[in-house]
Amino acid sequence: MKATNPSFLAINGGSSSIKFALFEWDNPPTAILSGTIQGIGLPTGSLTAEGQPERDLPIPDSAAAVRLLMDWVDERIGKESLAAVGHRVVHGGPKYWEPERITPEMIAELGRLKSFDPEHLPEEIHLIEAFQKRFPDVPQIACFDTAFHHDMPRVARMLPIPRRYEEMGVRRYGFHGLSYSYLMEELKRLDPVAAGGRVILAHLGGGASMAAVHEGKCIDTSMAFTPAAGLMMATRTGDIDPGLISFLAQSENMTAPQFNQMVNHESGLLGVSETSSDMRELLKVELDDVRAAEAVALFCYQAGKWIGSFAAALGGVDTLVFAGGIGENSPVVRARICEGLGFLGIELDESRNANAAGVISADAGRVGVRVIRTNEESMIARSAVRVLGLHRK
């Protein structure tokens, strides 16, 4: 059954999945349903949408996934009811960061920026162009993951390399900005005083990062020029010794593309465990597999160090927020990350943490620790509404 009222589609595309959500055309936007296309590149993938049976089918590549999504839009929404489409775009370089309507000039500039983020931009551009071709009269909005971090202090944006590269746009950009914007809006709704204080946001999932926020503004973040930097992730290294590039080039004749493949797709939890990039699977076998145990331990150890470093940047911490697939769903990981952080005033209540309560900190702790379920698709919708000025008619 097709939608009869004007609808807004929010798309959050990734390398192995596409998340999407449908909203009523309103201000603020009202969620109707959400869904996911998973298993891109595998023999059998799936399309799951609320209120509809899961459909298993082959999704050999991203092009097939995009066609599947557009066919679903035609079937579920229809061209006549699709009012606008919003896209999460990971990197906009130095020119684009605020949400804005997509133009041919923007597409051309994003094409020139592919070297900034070869892991995401090509697929995101393909998604946009495919929707433009199928739905040429529907406005599309780009929502950049770097917006939240754009006004960080200059000292936080600079990288310690020759100054001439800064003119090429090489600096710390930061990512997961849509998630962080949503988390701060939710924190302000839940506790306005806390939102105005010293906050550390921990988005922990397949991609993992943290942000330090003071008086509602980001002052530092763990990801840098690309999303591969910072905290160890599911398959990404996070920060590593740059001398490895020369060493591996000499010892294994590793090329730059091969190094990029290793850093982004063969490292992190997967590289250390040698079995899985999924934290849930590693926790199941850690008692019997030392490699899995060490992968989990390294992730938690690094996360704790980043919290400590951001507490230093903030001059203390008042609130810590966990979000993302791991941050929201793994009490064990949250507890291990917070072990040893009592000197900062971070103490968890064991029962609250185990039950994923909204507030999981102990009453005696000086720092409020929260679990907030993030929603990047909702933030895409909110941002697009602001750009287009949509109001109920």
Query: 96 near 106, Cβ under 8 Å?
Result: yes
If you ran DSSP here, which 8-state letter would residue 367 be given?
A: S
- What is the end-to-end Cα distance of the chain in Å, rounded? 23
For the four alpha carbons of 112, 117, 118 and 120, in that order, the dihedral sign comes to negative
Task: Catalytic residue, from 145, 220, 288, 289: name it.
Answer: 145
Q: What is the edge-to-edge ordering of all strands in the sheet holding 368-371? A: 217-221, 208-214, 198-204, 319-323, 368-371
* Look-up of token digits 């309103």: 26
The residues facing 45 across adjacent strands are: 57
The 3-state DSSP class for residue 186 equals helix
Rounded Cα gap, residues 229 and 248, in angstroms: 19
- Contact residues for 348 (Cβ-Cβ < 8 A; gap 6+): 334, 335, 338, 360, 361, 362, 365, 369
145 is catalytic: yes
Catalytic residues: 145
